[in-house]
Amino acid sequence: MVRRSFWLKIVSALVLFGAWQVAGMIPVSYAFPTFLESMSALARMAADGTLFTAYLETLRPLVVGVAISAFLGIGLGLWIGLSSRFDWLFSPIFIVMQAAPLAALIPLLVMAYGIGLTSKVFVVCIMAMPVIVLNTAGAVRNTPASLKEMGRSFLASDPEIIVKIIVPAASPVIFSGLRLGVSAGFIGAVLAELKITPTGVGDIITYSRSIADYPAMYAAIFSIILLAVLFLNLLERLEVYLFEGNVRGYASD
């Protein structure tokens, strides 16, 4: 099973890269390099260290923002899900945040917090947090009543019901919120570097476009997608490790 899905992933990646290569060779646009050109640009930037210094810069707001969004988002989500009063108070804020056009907010953020790390962290949080909060709150609210009742009948205290029943029962949806939030956080981090100050990977993208080095530009974009995919896979591993029966249980029930 595991092996087959692994090979399927490889095959789908090969098909995608093949299509990219062909599209680049036609070419679809003079600004669209082939897959192999982009990969050699990636190798060049990795070899001369450009890529690593760039990621050192980009990862800072990303990691800080995603970490804040995950902890604060899950915490707030639990709180909102457990108390109908806070649901009424906070849910609308996050629904608005999720719908807000981020590009319009960036000038406001820059005005308030300058062009430094703080603004970029904010952008990542605005992108990542709402879906984490809303998913967590929804999942908590939908905990099967019979499981909570079972806990109470076997003398669980309220904190025990939260930790041993509500959180694990909500974990599949919390994790899917985390996955969506993290992907959005990656978008936020790059967006912040494109819109606020060109640093890190955003700088590579902006700079190589300005000198028409399209392979380098696509290489940078490719690398950030690759990193996001790797990170999401890691998150999936963590979920399987923490709640083994859950992951398989909900699929077949």
Partner 1 sequence: MVMPQIKEVVDVPGAQEADNAVVARGISKTYGSVEALKNLTLEFPRGQLTSLLGPSGCGKTTLLKIIAGLLQPTAGEVEVNGKPVTGPGSDRAFVFQDFALLPWANVLRNAAFGLELRGVAKSEREAIAEKYIAEVGLKGFEKAYPHELSGGMRQRVGLARALAVDADVLLMDEPFSAVDEQTRRKFQEDLLNLVKHENKTFIFVTHSIEEAVYVSDQIAILLPRPSRVSEIIRPADLRHKNVDNIRRDPEYLDIVDSIWASLRSYVE
Q: Which stretch binds partner 1 (CB under 8 A): 116-124, 186-194, 212-220, 244-252?
A: 244-252
C-alpha–C-alpha distance, residues 200 and 56, integer Å: 7
**Residue number, 218 or 243, with CB nearest to partner 1:** 243
CB of 149 to partner 1, least distance (A): 6
Binding residue (CB under 8 A) for partner 1 from 97, 131, 137, 165 = 165
User: Burial letters for 82-106: b for 16+ Cβ neighbours within 10 Å, e otherwise?
Assistant: beeeebeebbeebeebeeeebeeeb
| Non-local CB neighbours of 199 within 8 Å, separated by 6+ positions | 57, 58, 193
Rg of the chain (C-alpha set): 21
Q: Which of 146, 159, 211, 241 binds partner 1 (CB under 8 A)?
A: 146
CB atoms within 10 A of CB 68: 17
Stretch that binds partner 1, among 31-39, 44-52, 70-78, 144-152 (CB under 8 A): 144-152
What number of CA atoms fall less than 13 Å from residue 208's CA on the CB side? Answer: 24
Contact status: 168 vs partner 1 (CB under 8 A) = yes
User: Rule CB under 8 A: is residue 235 a binding residue for partner 1?
Assistant: no
Q: Is the CB of 63 or the CB of 147 nearer to partner 1?
A: 147
| Residue selected from 30, 153, 211, 241 as contacting partner 1 according to rule CB under 8 A | 153
Using CB under 8 A, which of the segments 36-44, 94-102, 128-136, 157-165 binds partner 1? 157-165
Closest contact distance (angstroms) between CB of 182 and partner 1 is: 22
From residue 132, alpha-carbon distances to 72, 81, 168, 171, 180 in Å are 9, 12, 16, 12, 8
250 contacts partner 1 (rule: CB under 8 A): yes
By CB under 8 A, tell whether 237 contacts partner 1: no
For residues 172 and 202, which CB has a smaller minimum distance to partner 1 in the complex? 172
The C-alpha angle 221, 223, 224, rounded to 5 degrees, equals 70
Cβ neighbours of 183 (radius 10 Å): 18
Q: Which residues bind partner 1 (CB under 8 A)?
A: 144, 146-147, 149-156, 160, 164-165, 168-169, 171, 243-246, 248-250, 252-253
